[in-house]
Copies of this chain bind each other. A is one copy, B any other.
Amino acid sequence: MNLRVSNRGEAMPASPIRKLVPYAEAAKKRGTKVYHLNIGQPDIETPAAVLDAVRHSDFKVLEYSHSAGNESYRRKLVSYYESVGVHVNHQQIIITTGGSEAILFGFMACLDPGDEVIIPEPFYANYNGFAVAAGVNVVPVTSHIENGFALPPIADFEKVITPKTKAIVICNPNNPTGYLYSKAELESLKEIVLKHNLYLFSDEAYREFSYTGELMSVMHLQGADDHLVVMDTISKRYSACGARLGALVTKNQAVLDAVMKFAQARLSPPSFAQIAGEAAIDLPADYFTGAKEEYQRRRDLLVRRLNAMEGVYCPNPGGAFYAMAKLPIDDSDKFCQWLLESFEHNGQTVMLAPATGFYGTPGLGKQEVRLAYVLNLEAIDKAMDCLEAALKVYPGKQ
């Protein structure tokens, strides 16, 4: 009799993006250049000062840090949060191994198996994975490309709230839609979490990349402190994805106490990364201006090119570095695979993320793809040439 993996291990979703990787690898082996608009790995250089802090570090023993992260780093983060209008002390910040661990810790500490979290869809696919790990059920409420993926009406949330509902999860600015929630939308979320006594988890990985409005955090909301938990990361902010450094931020002491126990079990977050993270706080204030302007130019080009294609619609994203586009196709999974397997344009093709993986409701997203504008303008332009040519010859065109 064979040993079985757990039901949880079987239920764990495979990455909807990474399943296309073998096709991309095969395309490259054939000599086709692949423009990667499929993942959020920015090409922007990690600030030299951040890498240099690690390179110039001077210690003899690579020790465990405090389970909550080095106090010196947490104290510096207090000033960073001040700079974005979030007033917390260093004991309200627990350093995590990437934003990923902040999400996992939040789910683990606040939710029990069988509990439900409501998430506006399309949403970051890995929330599904952390939900399975924590035994939690994701209940999607659908946002729509027609209004740029604005927050669904509060009535849609009310409809799916049950006694098992414990939290609402948002990502702001949003991955995958690029939508930037307005102050009014966040206020309406506050009302609903207060009314139903829910947590509001806010993944703010892309906080600085806001193009159309002011930079917002759920922590700006007044009178709901105990309900608010921010999941944060330096990955995108400083183009430092490989550091694996994030933070869970809340004023809810019971949540901090519970999260701390999960943090102690895994001993500490990575030490090199904390040196990098600490140096990042000292970057000049205009650092984000440069990075943001670059992303905005890319967004403008990408959105313009997409909307100029026949039958394509792409709402202008207000933040992050993602755009969702509706394409005149039968099935985005098939189309994205076909782009890698059966198509090339002057020896080039483009890798996109099928939107189906970002929806919790089966069947949605079949005509949508996510594009991450993490390549330079020239590469984006060429990638759009590929997509435009592809849509003219794709057999499943509609």
**Per a CB cutoff under 8 Å, which of B2, B57, B98, B252 touches A267?**
B98
- Give the complex CA separation of A199 and B51 in angstroms: 42
Q: Mark A222-242, 1 if CB is under 8 A from B, else 0.
A: 000011000000000001111
Q: Mark A1-30, 1 if CB is under 8 A from B, else 0.
A: 111111111101111001000000000000
A9-B261, A10-B258, A108-B9 given as contacts; is B226 within 8 A of A3 (CB)?
yes
A13-B261, A14-B261, A62-B46 given as contacts; is B244 within 8 A of A110 (CB)?
no
Residues of B within 8 A of A199 (CB): 3
Asked if A262 is at the interface (CB within 8 A of a chain B CB), the reply is: yes
- Give the complex CA separation of A317 and B344 in angstroms: 64
A6 and B261 within 8 A (CB)? no
- Give the complex CA separation of A64 and B276 in angstroms: 15
Residues of B within 8 A of A9 (CB): 108-110, 255, 258-259, 261-262
B276 and A62 within 8 A (CB)? yes
- Give the complex CA separation of A3 and B224 in angstroms: 11
Of A125-133, A282-290, A325-333, the one with at least 4 CB within 8 A of chain B: A125-133
Residues of B within 8 A of A57 (CB): 55
- Give the complex CA separation of A262 and B5 in angstroms: 13
Of A111-119, A150-158, A306-314, A345-353, the one with at least 4 CB within 8 A of chain B: A111-119
Asked if A265 is at the interface (CB within 8 A of a chain B CB), the reply is: yes
**Per a CB cutoff under 8 Å, which of B6, B64, B257, B264 touches A242?**
B64
- Give the complex CA separation of A67 and B198 in angstroms: 33
- Give the complex CA separation of A133 and B262 in angstroms: 8
B12 and A262 within 8 A (CB)? yes
A3 and B55 within 8 A (CB)? no
B55 and A54 within 8 A (CB)? yes
**Per a CB cutoff under 8 Å, which of B51, B59, B265, B273 touches A126?**
B265
A242 and B5 within 8 A (CB)? no
Asked if A89 is at the interface (CB within 8 A of a chain B CB), the reply is: no
- Give the complex CA separation of A109 and B12 in angstroms: 9
Asked if A174 is at the interface (CB within 8 A of a chain B CB), the reply is: no
Asked if A146 is at the interface (CB within 8 A of a chain B CB), the reply is: no
A2 and B226 within 8 A (CB)? yes
A100-B267, A112-B6, A244-B269 given as contacts; is B60 within 8 A of A45 (CB)?
yes
Of A36-44, A207-215, A334-342, A376-384, the one with at least 4 CB within 8 A of chain B: A36-44
B51 and A64 within 8 A (CB)? no
Asked if A135 is at the interface (CB within 8 A of a chain B CB), the reply is: yes
Asked if A393 is at the interface (CB within 8 A of a chain B CB), the reply is: no
B276 and A273 within 8 A (CB)? no
- Give the complex CA separation of A67 and B100 in angstroms: 13
Which chain B residue lies CB-closest to A42? Answer: B61
19 contacts between A and B (CB under 8 A): A5-B255, A6-B109, A12-B258, A12-B265, A41-B63, A45-B60, A61-B239, A62-B242, A63-B241, A97-B97, A97-B266, A97-B270, A100-B266, A126-B266, A135-B135, A244-B269, A244-B270, A270-B270, A270-B273
Would you list the 5 A-B pairs with minimal beta carbon distance, nearest first? A129-B265, A242-B271, A9-B258, A272-B272, A100-B266
